[in-house]
Chains A and B, each alone.
Chain A
């Protein structure tokens, strides 16, 4: 008992010492000059809605010309009297205190008071607000990091980042197998126990983890154009849709543009892991059209995809415009409907659709619209749009869009959070942004994925963050086993089967 008491006393003494040391380092902000504006901070977290479990939103003040920030003082006050106070070169919040503050203010707002010391003088800004949403967010994000290059790639990998922490861990890096490239990855509605992970290179394969176990697939068959890419799981986990694309890259010569990725041909198909059958149907492999970016509806009875009239490439590359279409799918029989519906006639708008992503509550479908083509990640004009499925109304997500590229995106498992990639930071290096979407489809101001030192990390990072997806739990991958299986020659072959239409349709 005495020992326990001693432990408690010792612990409190340490805390006290730390507090004393910290307070000794802190200056008192006395009679600061009041400024009539909110602070310009990086990342811009002012007036954003955040999940209660998000990692500390550390930030710094953006420098005013000729006025270096010597120190900033930040007080965050909750409505229930909780306060978090930090001071330093930038705002670095202690994780535990931050989590406690957010937990105590779920559904409420936090007021953030910022003062800055420049040239020995303290100045106080107007406070800004952080809204703590009652809507929970998933465990973490999985994304790829790769330099925004052209054809050649250097170090890259797929990484997992718990959203309540500030460290990421590699799931797979291309140092594992010589010459390897990792790209398309997909989980079933954020469930990482069902995953598809595509590797290119000499030891190329697609790792598929389904209810039928784990297999390393050769997804190229004699009947298909190329290996399977752009995966999307059927909600049952019994099927996974892919597209197969004959892709080429081309390069622009003027400063505003860099890369153009075009398809010479593309089809959509569905894999059934239980039987190893690759289901092909005429409507989705029509040589007069390019079909790509498949996505199953949350009820699993519809397959969305992008479709454009095939035109000669590269001559007509700027005339290729994809519409958003759908076709019925019968998961019991593994068959498709007869009719292709067009949900977004983007061609009529002078636009082109890519990356359709239905929300898992079945209410919305988010897409990227660009001026032409399907590889919108290199199109500066690319923006996010939201289709309300009940009313079939399409609207741009102005709160999310910027003059730079907004492109790949995904929904959280409860459809209340959105993650998307944007080049708005510097026009080239893609970063990840999170935003809240309420039950009425109103999307809040996005915020940059928090980091312990966001200014330094994002500035020094040589990578773009792309293909982000939520995961509800950590992904289990053993690098050693993965390396062994990838370098082994064994691959499961798919059996391509051309199927007829569903009898019921």
Chain B
């Protein structure tokens, strides 16, 4: 009996909240940190009154402003994780306080928080939704404290609703709905609900948003007019749990309930509910609930995307060795991550040697072609930047930012736009981006330092990265063409014959599209690149070319390693023997150019 009491106490005193908070912190900090980095780079929170005013110009703007303020801390994933964990705990406590029932109420109060957690697992779910939910529940909580006299409650509701609606957007209607259900025997509560429904309609005559967005929220989800199921589940649970809590459990939540209402609790419903509860012991239901909750979060999570975001983050942070380590653990196969890996290999001088040690998906994994979205141009913009194709990097970055569906700007893009304009010597435009970055929390220092480069060509030329990129740029104009990437890379080398990165990309481009004629044509450009050996993939391509016209290795003009010579001989022997050797070929030579060239569509 004593044990049971401790258990009750444990549930009631917030241990559940602690459990929730710790679980969320560990999840976001350890398992899902790059989703936080991803969120951070898709906004540009500015500490200016203009920015605040702009946010406050539409319903939900205050929630959006608070959310963006908090999201900027995702720059440090553990801080972002702590913020989300804190928000989920606050949400759970709010629901619990609205439910104000026995231990069951505490357990059920986890549900809306779990739904919000699931909502945030979607990389397009924005923090403005839980903020809006919290603010709404807070107002509801405060409203309950008012004496149950309509001359007081109705006018306050009439004033609070539009303010709340403007602050948090469509979720504010939850407050009116909750009050209407809670006080369902009082006509004024339905008047309040009707009034709430009129608010978005009235706003639609002034603001340039469709009615659905004004009802369902403008800024809760990155894509306009998409409302994920988790959002509705969270809203539904946020209303249902407190109301069901009141309905089901021991203490009516509102001391102001009428005698008639009290009698319902005491007579009609109680015995039935008690009978249900007697069969459902919290002792067993809580672990089961936790298990189900974990399953829910696991289902809502997308660890493949988390991995892609990890590649993206490491590329952004120029952590090339970490990218290669990540790929060594599990080879990437999406063009996005393969492009990041190839860039890392190139930046560490390993692209020629290790290109085929990893899965390759053609030229798409080297320089992905442009797509009109806010994610896929990013690796290509990074590749162009490091190659010295500054205008193309600038364009891909700008386009990625402009494609952000909720029309926000991007901190990451602003940094790159400032850099590319500095390299291009377009100082007035660079200064504009830098001044904006000076209004941020985490980019202020960098921007202030970069301001020192404005108008100072000499200093830029002395900068290790920018100076080199300035020298690597094209000086003669032509129009960019995706279809002629090899020509563009060739011109880049012509512009700067020491651009080894461009040479490695050119070689990789020809190898990946299996154009050995062009590979052989461009190969001599590498003579001045300072290689101490012929990179492995080039050796494999060269020896393959040689074997197409020669029966032995006599007179071979290149310094090909003995291992490669033996390899090609063995590969050719096994390959000629046909299908029975497929698995052996893949096992022994799967990570060679020959396998990429011949085995990909190999039919024995």
**A 427-450 to B, binary, CB cutoff 8 A, 1 in contact else 0:** 111000000000000000000000
Verify if B390 is at the interface (C-beta below 8 Å from A): yes
A-B residue pairs in contact (CB < 8 Å), sample of 9: A154-B402, A175-B213, A176-B210, A253-B391, A254-B473, A255-B425, A426-B429, A460-B48, A479-B206
**B402/A149 in contact, CB under 8 A:** yes
Q: Mark the stretch among B71-79, B403-411, B506-514, B570-578 that contacts chain A.
A: B403-411
**A253/B488 in contact, CB under 8 A:** yes
**A427/B479 in contact, CB under 8 A:** no
Assuming the A-B contacts A152-B403, A154-B407, A459-B435, are A255 and B424 also in contact, with contact meaning beta carbons closer than 8 angstroms in the complex? yes
Sort A-B residue pairs by CB-CB distance and give the 10 closest, nearest first.
A426-B428, A155-B407, A255-B424, A173-B208, A254-B477, A176-B208, A250-B479, A251-B480, A154-B402, A152-B402
Q: Pick the contact of B476 from A254, A479, A480, A487 — CB < 8 Å?
A: A254
A428 to chain B: closest residue by CB: B429
**B429/A427 in contact, CB under 8 A:** yes
Which residues of B sit under 8 angstroms from A314, Cβ to Cβ?
479
Which residues of A sit under 8 angstroms from B399, Cβ to Cβ?
149-152
**B210/A177 in contact, CB under 8 A:** yes
Q: Which of A314-364 contact B (CB under 8 A)?
A: 314, 317
**A257/B477 in contact, CB under 8 A:** yes
Verify if B395 is at the interface (C-beta below 8 Å from A): yes
Which residues of A sit under 8 angstroms from B206, Cβ to Cβ?
479
**B480/A252 in contact, CB under 8 A:** yes
**A479/B479 in contact, CB under 8 A:** no
Q: In the assembly, what is the distance between CA of A256 and CA of B210, in Å?
A: 41
**B398/A254 in contact, CB under 8 A:** no
**A255/B479 in contact, CB under 8 A:** no
**B389/A253 in contact, CB under 8 A:** yes
Verify if B474 is at the interface (C-beta below 8 Å from A): yes
Interface size on A, residues (CB 8 A): 43
B224 to chain A: closest residue by CB: A178
Q: In the assembly, what is the distance between CA of A307 and CA of B48, in Å?
A: 48
Point out which of A152, A155, A173, A314 has the most chain B C-beta atoms below 10 A from its C-beta: A152
Verify if B432 is at the interface (C-beta below 8 Å from A): yes
**A462/B409 in contact, CB under 8 A:** yes
Verify if B207 is at the interface (C-beta below 8 Å from A): yes
Q: Chain B: interface secondary structure?
A: loop
Q: In whole Å, how far is A211's beta carbon from the nearest beta carbon of chain B? A: 27
**B204/A480 in contact, CB under 8 A:** yes
Verify if A170 is at the interface (C-beta below 8 Å from B): yes
A sample of 9 more A-B contacts (CB under 8 A), given A252-B477, A254-B474, A254-B477, is A149-B402, A153-B402, A251-B479, A253-B391, A253-B480, A457-B50, A459-B435, A462-B409, A479-B206
Q: In the assembly, what is the distance between CA of A173 and CA of B398, in Å?
A: 21
Verify if A456 is at the interface (C-beta below 8 Å from B): yes
Verify if B401 is at the interface (C-beta below 8 Å from A): yes
Verify if B205 is at the interface (C-beta below 8 Å from A): yes
Assuming the A-B contacts A150-B395, A427-B428, are A456 and B205 also in contact, with contact meaning beta carbons closer than 8 angstroms in the complex? no
Residues of B within 8 A of A (CB): 46, 48, 50, 204-211, 213, 218, 224-225, 372, 389-392, 395, 398-399, 401-404, 407, 409, 424-426, 428-429, 431-432, 435-436, 473-480, 488
Which residues of B sit under 8 angstroms from A32, Cβ to Cβ?
none
Q: In the assembly, what is the distance between CA of A137 and CA of B398, in Å?
A: 37
**B479/A252 in contact, CB under 8 A:** yes
Q: Pick the contact of A478 from B50, B205, B224, B425 — CB < 8 Å?
A: B205
Q: In the assembly, what is the distance between CA of A250 and CA of B370, in Å?
A: 13
Q: Pick the contact of A250 from B389, B402, B480 — CB < 8 Å?
A: B480
**B402/A254 in contact, CB under 8 A:** no
Q: In the assembly, what is the distance between CA of A456 and CA of B473, in Å?
A: 33
Q: In the assembly, what is the distance between CA of A399 and CA of B191, in Å?
A: 64
**A 236-267 to B, binary, CB cutoff 8 A, 1 in contact else 0:** 00000000000000111111111010000000
**A147/B207 in contact, CB under 8 A:** no
**A260/B426 in contact, CB under 8 A:** no
Q: In the assembly, what is the distance between CA of A350 and CA of B476, in Å?
A: 21
Q: In the assembly, what is the distance between CA of A251 and CA of B149, in Å?
A: 68
B423 to chain A: closest residue by CB: A255
Q: In whole Å, how far is B61's beta carbon from the nearest beta carbon of chain A? A: 13
Q: In the assembly, what is the distance between CA of A405 and CA of B327, in Å?
A: 47
B491 to chain A: closest residue by CB: A253
**A150/B398 in contact, CB under 8 A:** yes
Q: In whole Å, how far is B367's beta carbon from the nearest beta carbon of chain A? A: 14
Q: In whole Å, how far is B369's beta carbon from the nearest beta carbon of chain A? A: 13
**A255/B426 in contact, CB under 8 A:** yes
Q: In the assembly, what is the distance between CA of A425 and CA of B210, in Å?
A: 36
Q: Which of A120-153 contact B (CB under 8 A)?
A: 147, 149-153
**A253/B474 in contact, CB under 8 A:** yes
Assuming the A-B contacts A258-B395, A426-B429, are A175 and B208 also in contact, with contact meaning beta carbons closer than 8 angstroms in the complex? yes
**B479/A172 in contact, CB under 8 A:** no
**A459/B432 in contact, CB under 8 A:** yes
**A253/B208 in contact, CB under 8 A:** no
Which residues of A sit under 8 angstroms from B409, Cβ to Cβ?
462
Which residues of B sit under 8 angstroms from A149, Cβ to Cβ?
398-399, 402
Which residues of A sit under 8 angstroms from B475, Cβ to Cβ?
254
**A151/B372 in contact, CB under 8 A:** yes
B431 to chain A: closest residue by CB: A426
Q: In the assembly, what is the distance between CA of A177 and CA of B211, in Å?
A: 10
Q: In the assembly, what is the distance between CA of A487 and CA of B208, in Å?
A: 13
**A253/B435 in contact, CB under 8 A:** no
Q: In whole Å, how far is B345's beta carbon from the nearest beta carbon of chain A? A: 25
Q: In whole Å, how far is B462's beta carbon from the nearest beta carbon of chain A? A: 19
Which residues of A sit under 8 angstroms from B474, Cβ to Cβ?
253-254
**A253/B479 in contact, CB under 8 A:** yes
Verify if A157 is at the interface (C-beta below 8 Å from B): yes
Q: In the assembly, what is the distance between CA of A50 and CA of B210, in Å?
A: 40
Q: In whole Å, how far is A319's beta carbon from the nearest beta carbon of chain B? A: 14
B399 to chain A: closest residue by CB: A152
Verify if A403 is at the interface (C-beta below 8 Å from B): no
Q: In whole Å, how far is B47's beta carbon from the nearest beta carbon of chain A? A: 12
Point out which of A253, A258, A460, A479 has the most chain B C-beta atoms below 10 A from its C-beta: A253
Q: In the assembly, what is the distance between CA of A478 and CA of B208, in Å?
A: 9
Which residues of B sit under 8 angstroms from A107, Cβ to Cβ?
none
Q: In whole Å, how far is B42's beta carbon from the nearest beta carbon of chain A? A: 12
A456 to chain B: closest residue by CB: B50
Which residues of A sit under 8 angstroms from B372, Cβ to Cβ?
151-152
Q: In the assembly, what is the distance between CA of A20 and CA of B429, in Å?
A: 43
Q: In whole Å, how far is A174's beta carbon from the nearest beta carbon of chain B? A: 8
Which residues of B sit under 8 angstroms from A257, Cβ to Cβ?
477
**A479/B208 in contact, CB under 8 A:** yes
Which residues of B sit under 8 angstroms from A460, Cβ to Cβ?
46, 48, 50, 435-436
Assuming the A-B contacts A154-B407, A175-B407, are A254 and B391 also in contact, with contact meaning beta carbons closer than 8 angstroms in the complex? yes
Which residues of B sit under 8 angstroms from A250, Cβ to Cβ?
479-480
Verify if A483 is at the interface (C-beta below 8 Å from B): yes
Assuming the A-B contacts A153-B402, A175-B208, A480-B204, are A428 and B391 also in contact, with contact meaning beta carbons closer than 8 angstroms in the complex? no
Which residues of B sit under 8 angstroms from A428, Cβ to Cβ?
426, 428-429
